[in-house]
């Protein structure tokens, strides 16, 4: 009898399984959705749901500490907490959804898309103004260098 045994083994030993679950969870909180096999998704659903619930319901410091255990980047943790709280508000469960995509050729494994129910953008906003200023500075320095070369000739 299998008393108090839960979760999937995924043909891996304990450390490999722990690393796989951590990396898949990190990917979900980085990109908002992932495409992988159904068995792997079923293994990470409880972890992602639990973390999302902690972020929404617990105090901010507690939520950030729990999320930091997975993401290992403080700036990213701050961005994830802010975005999830703004998108989901007072929702306490059902943060994720699973959509069947196709069967993988070769082993016929079911590939699914695992994502949040509402669109969440965790990527940092791009700053185009800074790039324009840098380009203008480069142009000015190139002009100065050309002017100096003309004077020396």
Domain that residue 99 falls in? 14-126
In a domain, 104, yes or no: yes
In a domain, 131, yes or no: no
Is the overall model pTM greater than 0.85, yes or no? no
In a domain, 139, yes or no: no
| 143 pLDDT tier (thresholds 50, 70, 90) | low
Q: Per-residue pLDDT for 19 more than 70? A: yes
Our count of domains for the chain comes to 1
The alpha carbon of 129 is separated from its chain's Cα centroid by a whole number of angstroms, namely: 26
Tell me the pLDDT tens digit for each residue of 111-142.
999 999 999 888 887 776 666 666 666 666 66
In a domain, 133, yes or no: no
Write down the pLDDT at residue 137. Answer: 66
Tell me the pLDDT tens digit for each residue of 59-84.
999 999 999 999 999 999 999 999 99
Which residues, in sequence order, are bridge partners of residue 103? 110
DSSP structural state of residue 4: T
In a domain, 147, yes or no: no
CATH number of the CATH domain containing 41: 3.90.1030.10
For residue 76, which phi and psi values (nearest 5 degrees)? -65, -40
Long-range contacts of 85-91, Cβ-Cβ distance < 8 Å, separation of 24 or more: 85/55, 85/56, 87/116, 87/118, 87/119, 87/120, 88/52, 88/56, 88/118, 89/56, 90/56, 91/56
Cα 52 from Cα 75, distance rounded (Å): 17
For residue 14, which phi and psi values (nearest 5 degrees)? -60, -50
User: Mean per-residue pLDDT for 139-152?
Assistant: 68
CA angle 63, 67, 72 (to 5 degrees): 140
Which residues, in sequence order, are bridge partners of residue 36? 112
Write down the pLDDT at residue 142. Answer: 65
In a domain, 142, yes or no: no
In a domain, 74, yes or no: yes
In a domain, 117, yes or no: yes
| 5 pLDDT tier (thresholds 50, 70, 90) | confident
């Amino acid at each position: 009898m299998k008393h108090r045994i839960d979760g999937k083994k995924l043909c891996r030993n304990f450390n490999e399984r722990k690393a796989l679950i951590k990396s898949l969870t990190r990917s979900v909180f980085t990109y908002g959705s992932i495409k992988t096999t159904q068995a792997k998704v079923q293994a990470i659903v409880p972890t992602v749901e639990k973390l999302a619930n902690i972020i929404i319901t617990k105090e901010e410091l507690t939520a950030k500490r729990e999320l930091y255990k997975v993401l290992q980047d403080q700036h990213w943790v701050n961005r994830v907490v802010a975005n999830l709280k703004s998108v989901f508000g007072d929702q306490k469960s059902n943060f994720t959804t699973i959509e069947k995509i196709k069967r993988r050729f070769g082993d016929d494994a079911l590939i699914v898309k695992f994502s949040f129910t509402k669109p969440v953008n965790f990527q940092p906003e791009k700053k185009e103004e800074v790039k324009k200023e840098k380009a203008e500075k480069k142009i000015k320095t190139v002009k100065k260098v050309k002017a100096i070369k003309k004077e020396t000739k």
